[in-house]
């Protein structure tokens, strides 16, 4: 069954109306809004924030908005700043799954000091291999791991203990392989991983869809599976999920818009309504399609439960593989 954005938006709109029915619709922020982002200018999180900024301004929800770039420490520097602005009605923030992974490593409770007002979308991760590889499916990967845990090398960007490393461990666990036995190689970027895959230097790459797509389209690499709950449409419609292939593994980089603590219900309701409008913005929808992002809106207070669940899951598996303090 294909993921259908129009169905998601219909559900989102209905839930949003219910959530805000008793809120004071007269409240709006006054003055400039600072949007705190844990990435430098031009980085993916920065580009996402600017797309949200454009949609909010186009819809007349904010008079003006400034992107405040605070890169470093897996977005912890940025979110620490946001948390320090308790009660500030003119500040919002953006966090991806990398932030949750970073604080789950240290055991920090920073995620409890901000309010995830809405999860906007998921960027599901892809597993791929060289075009002429003898590995044809993720079921093949599983069988190889069962026979010999060292027979498959997983490659991914960023570093050990990252969400993509966790993804490799989750796949190996379906074959009964212990985390310490998983053979991994880390590269600086998704583009580097793709180059190593097409050269036949590693067996299975794990990156965002966009990082792998250029070599896929050039016929130098081939998707093995998508770590999503359902198939996607468009260029990804023929790529099976890992679940379809007998591996119950979902790997998503989730993007949440955050608020400082101690805001009033009508202020939280305003941002919920504004972000629903972002998801309905035609240009933002084009951004979703172009980057293979899947709109999966979860709004407050459900977003808090999901944020906490993601932290707990990361903490558990990071402890298991020896990367949690």
- pLDDT value of residue 191: 87
User: Burial level of 94, CB count in 10 A (0-12/13-18/19+)?
Assistant: buried
- Work out whether the CA dihedral 212, 218, 224, 226 comes out positive or negative: positive
pTM of the model: 0.86
CA distances from 162 to 124, 157, 289 (A): 15, 9, 25
CB atoms within 10 A of CB 41: 11
Q: Is the pLDDT of residue 15 over 80?
A: no
User: Could you give the domains of the chain?
Assistant: 5-122+253-320 (3.40.190.150), 124-245 (3.40.190.10)
- pLDDT value of residue 19: 45
Helices 302-320/97-106 angle, 10° precision: 50
Q: What DSSP assignment string belongs to 154-221?
A: EEEES-TTSHHHHHHHHHHHHTT--GGG-EEEEESSHHHHHHHHHTTSSSEEEEEHHHHHHHHHTTSE
255 falls in which pLDDT band (50, 70, 90)?
very high
Q: Is the pLDDT of residue 1 over 90?
A: no
Q: Which long-range contacts (C-beta less than 8 Å, at least 24 apart) are formed by 169-172? A: 169/317, 169/320, 169/321, 170/249, 170/251, 170/317, 171/127, 171/138, 171/141, 171/142, 171/145, 171/242, 171/247, 171/249, 172/145
Q: Is the pLDDT of residue 18 over 70?
A: no
How many whole angstroms separate alpha carbon 255 and alpha carbon 267? 20
What is the tens place of the pLDDT at every residue in 262-316? 999 999 999 999 999 999 999 999 999 999 999 999 999 999 999 999 999 999 9
**Residue of 278, 269, 281, 256 lying closest to 89 (CA atoms):** 269
% of the chain surpassing 70 pLDDT: 92
- pLDDT value of residue 50: 96
**Residue of 163, 45, 38 lying closest to 101 (CA atoms):** 163
- pLDDT value of residue 25: 63
User: Burial level of 180, CB count in 10 A (0-12/13-18/19+)?
Assistant: exposed
- pLDDT value of residue 13: 43
Q: Is the pLDDT of residue 9 over 60?
A: no
What is the tens place of the pLDDT at every residue in 199-246? 999 999 999 998 899 999 999 999 999 999 999 999 999 999 999 999
23 falls in which pLDDT band (50, 70, 90)?
very low
């Amino acid at each position: 069954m294909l993921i259908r954005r129009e169905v998601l938006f219909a559900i989102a709109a209905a839930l949003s109306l219910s959530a805000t029915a008793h809120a004071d619709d007269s409240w709006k922020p006054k003055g400039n809004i600072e949007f705190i982002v844990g990435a430098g200018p031009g980085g993916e999180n920065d580009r996402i924030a600017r797309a949200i900024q454009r949609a909010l301004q186009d819809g007349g929800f904010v008079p003006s908005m400034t992107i405040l770039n605070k890169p470093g420490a897996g977005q912890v520097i940025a979110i620490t700043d946001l948390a320090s602005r308790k009660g500030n009605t003119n500040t919002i923030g953006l966090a991806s799954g990398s932030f949750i992974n970073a604080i789950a490593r240290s055991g920090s409770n920073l995620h409890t000091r901000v309010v995830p007002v809405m999860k906007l979308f998921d960027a599901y991760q892809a597993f791929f291999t060289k075009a002429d590889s003898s590995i044809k499916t993720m079921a093949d990967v599983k069988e190889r791991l069962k026979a010999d845990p060292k027979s498959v090398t997983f490659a991914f960007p960023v570093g050990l203990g990252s969400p993509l490393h966790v993804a490799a461990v989750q796949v190996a666990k379906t074959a009964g392989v212990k985390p310490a036995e998983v053979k991994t190689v880390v590269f600086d970027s998704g583009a580097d991983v793709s180059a190593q895959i097409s050269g036949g230097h590693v067996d299975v790459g794990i990156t965002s869809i966009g990082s792998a797509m250029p070599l896929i389209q050039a016929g130098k690499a081939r998707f093995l599976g998508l770590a999503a709950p359902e198939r996607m449409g468009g260029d990804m419609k023929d790529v099976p999920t890992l679940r379809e292939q007998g591996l119950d593994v979902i790997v998503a980089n989730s993007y949440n818009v955050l608020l400082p603590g101690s805001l009033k219900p009508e202020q939280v309701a305003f941002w919920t309504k504004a972000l629903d409008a972002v998801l309905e913005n035609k240009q933002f929808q084009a951004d979703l399609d172009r980057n293979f992002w899947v709109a999966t809106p979860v709004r407050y207070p459900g977003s808090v439960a999901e944020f906490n669940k993601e932290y707990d899951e990361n903490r558990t598996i990071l402890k298991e593989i020896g990367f949690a303090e």
